[in-house]
A and B are shown apart, each in its own frame.
Chain A
Amino acid sequence: MSLEAGEIEQKYRIPTVAAAGSNVVSFGIGPNATYNTGMPIRYIGVPFPFSGQPRSVLKGYIAGKDTVSGKPMMQAIVDGLTKPLTDQEKMSGRPPEAAPEPRLLPPDTEDHLQRLFKEKGWTDYNPVILPTQVRVAAMLKGTSHKPEEIVKTAAGTFGTRRPFTVEKVAVLAVMAGAKPEYFPVILALASLVPYQDSTTSIAQMIVVNGPIRKQIGMNSGMGALGPDNEANSVIGRAMTLIHKVIQGYQEGVTGFASLSNPLRYDNLCMAENEEALPEGWLPLHVQMGHQPAESVVTVFTGWNFINSTGWVEQHYAPQMLMRDYMASLSGMGATLIMDPSVADLLKDVQGFKTKAMLGDWLSQNVEKTARSYWGNSIVSSMLGPLAAQGLEPYATWKKLPGDTTIKPFANPKDIHAVVVGGKTASVWFATDFRPEKGASIDAWR
């Protein structure tokens, strides 16, 4: 909203007041103005929550206080439009850059440094491996890229400018406990910042494909999603540190996830079990347009991770239960994570010769009511406006009586499958994770 208010102010010179919920207004006033828009937009804060409140409560909010200034709400709005600009609000030009961060921290004891790292928000609050010069130098041997090379510039939360180098990523890789051979994967992951954030319980998922999986000992077999493999565990943890340190995510300052999500501890880091794919089922990275011999990391974003609980039974085909479980997802995308034994059953018994065929079937068979579909605020906030503009099928769905059933996964290409696991149980997960971006790992070797 700061960007839009800024455009009205800057391009048309029309004074503007932005109204935000008290839950996030500090971001608009603070970090967003300092690092992103450069405009000290005048905000008022509306008590949270406002969505879902009866009109009488909203009336009370307007009769009450602005949570930013403490003034009566409407007085704050009138003041925002009429009070002369302060010197700070008249400033233009680039401010003097803050002093660069020193490359080395002052010498200290290990205990004090561990404490400092936690206090600075540089950890996941588990102990880290302290990034000594020797350890970082060893990590840098895992890539041909020079330490001072800039990996990316627009790296911060919501795309703010935070240039960072290969050496900075090496520091975080050491802290996460990585071996140098993991470093190209971690660099590729770092090249994909910023990762999506939200006040909702959004999370990321990492899927690695290609030869590097075996070269660095990732587990794509038995126990692949558990805390039972060094590479999977450490690479997932590295992403958490990249999110916090490089992207600059600080809960309550630059991010406001109300519950957050426990998946953020290791970001569901996995390697696809390409060797166990049924014939005709392509690895994820090949589906995304890469060559089989390329090593690629794909970052997914989503919220839900529904466990099949039990194994595939004779009396109910696996795609039927997948269909049932997926009806609880938003419909904006899905990824099925399945054991190779499930993939085999789907292909050999149920006749799904490709992953795409499974996606087609689920697209045609998952159903939910229109009321439930639009009841999800991620769906309504993102797709409701498209319906209002006449884009199908959303325009038609929005006009339907609430009890009418629709097929929410309208585009079968939004349904993905990743095969991973050790064939000790025919189990699977239905998730709403969607592949956002992929990056070449080979480019960072």
Chain B
Amino acid sequence: MDRRKMLALLGASPALVAAAPSYAGTSSTAVPEAAASAADRLITVLNPAVAPGLAQRIPLAPRLDKLDGKTIYLVDTDWGGMGQNDGILQEMQAWFAEHMPSVKTIIKIKKGNFVTDDPGLWKEIADNKGDGVVLGVAG
């Protein structure tokens, strides 16, 4: 297409384009002295940073000496919300059954969505003498 016609279609006047000054090469080779000294001037500014507060440290629970004969709860956080996201936990359960058959595993789905707590389930696990928990999967 003719360049003039194309520019007209784009709404630009060919005359304007032709007359537009070129700035290439104007990045100065000779910086005025005043500008150079302004660039070197030291200035003091306020610090934007906000110091985050550190959380109070809480120790973890003591660990088990071994898993043999223990009950481990595999808790699905229901990341997808449809009760269909426990495939990884089912694979974990299958692994325990094959490699550590003395470990009893129980899969539970947490109530509520993935950001809500389920204190009733934690109590249930404690009441039923759960020895350990694997909680997942979020991401």
Q: Contacts A7-B117, A34-B55: A85 and B91 contacting too (C-beta < 8 A)? A: no
**B54 interface residue, CB < 8 Å from A?**
yes
Interface residues in B17-42 (C-beta closer than 8 Å to A):
39-42
Q: Is the CB of A62 within 8 A of B95?
A: yes
Interface readout for A152-170 with B: 1 if CB under 8 Å, 0 if not? 0101100011111001100
**B66 interface residue, CB < 8 Å from A?**
yes
From B53, B114, B123, contact of A162 by CB (8 A): B53
Q: Is the CB of B139 within 8 A of A22?
A: yes
B44 CB → nearest A CB, Å: 5
**A384 interface residue, CB < 8 Å from B?**
yes
Residues of chain A within 8 A of B133, CB atoms compared: 5, 8, 14-17
Q: Contacts A90-B59, A248-B52: A389 and B111 contacting too (C-beta < 8 A)? A: yes
**B92 interface residue, CB < 8 Å from A?**
yes
Closest to A74 in B: B95
Q: Contacts A132-B45, A168-B48: A1 and B54 contacting too (C-beta < 8 A)? A: no
Residues of chain A within 8 A of B45, CB atoms compared: 104-105, 113, 130-133
Q: Is the CB of A20 within 8 A of B139?
A: yes
Q: Contacts A14-B132, A160-B52, A385-B78: A58 and B91 contacting too (C-beta < 8 A)? A: yes
B111 CB → nearest A CB, Å: 7
Residues of chain B within 8 A of A61, CB atoms compared: 88, 91
Q: Is the CB of A104 within 8 A of B139?
A: no
Closest to B93 in A: A62
Q: Is the CB of A91 within 8 A of B135?
A: no
From B66, B80, B87, B126, contact of A58 by CB (8 A): B87
Q: Contacts A4-B118, A61-B91, A100-B51: A9 and B61 contacting too (C-beta < 8 A)? A: yes
**B106 interface residue, CB < 8 Å from A?**
no
Q: Is the CB of B56 within 8 A of A382?
A: no
B90 CB → nearest A CB, Å: 8
Residues of chain A within 8 A of B72, CB atoms compared: 81
**A441 interface residue, CB < 8 Å from B?**
no
Inter-chain CA distance A155–B95, complex, in Å, is 43
From A6, A49, A89, A172, contact of B48 by CB (8 A): A172
Closest to B100 in A: A78
Inter-chain CA distance A62–B136, complex, in Å, is 13
A381 CB → nearest B CB, Å: 4
Closest to B127 in A: A12
Q: Is the CB of A6 within 8 A of B135?
A: no
**B81 interface residue, CB < 8 Å from A?**
yes
Q: Contacts A15-B133, A19-B136: A82 and B58 contacting too (C-beta < 8 A)? A: no
**B15 interface residue, CB < 8 Å from A?**
no
B19 CB → nearest A CB, Å: 26
Interface residues in B110-139 (C-beta closer than 8 Å to A):
110-114, 116-119, 122-123, 125-126, 130-139
From A16, A163, A389, contact of B61 by CB (8 A): A16
Known pairs A97-B53, A380-B81; list 15 more (Cβ under 8 Å): A14-B130, A14-B131, A17-B133, A36-B55, A46-B136, A82-B63, A107-B42, A117-B48, A130-B43, A160-B55, A162-B51, A248-B50, A383-B81, A383-B113, A385-B113
* Interface residues in chain A, defined as those with a beta carbon under 8 Å from any beta carbon in chain B: 1, 3-25, 33-42, 44, 46, 48-51, 53, 55, 58-59, 61-62, 74, 77-78, 81-85, 89-95, 97-111, 113, 117, 120, 122, 130-133, 136, 153, 155-156, 160-164, 167-168, 171-172, 175, 199, 241, 245-246, 248, 374, 377, 379-386, 388-389
Q: Which 7 A-B pairs have the closest CB atoms?
A: A21-B139, A19-B136, A384-B81, A161-B53, A38-B55, A381-B81, A107-B42
* Interface residues in chain B, defined as those with a beta carbon under 8 Å from any beta carbon in chain A: 39-67, 72, 77-83, 85, 87-88, 91-92, 95-96, 99-100, 110-114, 116-119, 122-123, 125-126, 130-139
18 interchain pairs, CB-CB under 8 A:
A14-B125, A17-B132, A18-B136, A19-B135, A21-B137, A33-B55, A38-B54, A48-B139, A51-B85, A74-B92, A81-B134, A92-B59, A93-B56, A108-B42, A248-B52, A380-B80, A381-B114, A385-B81
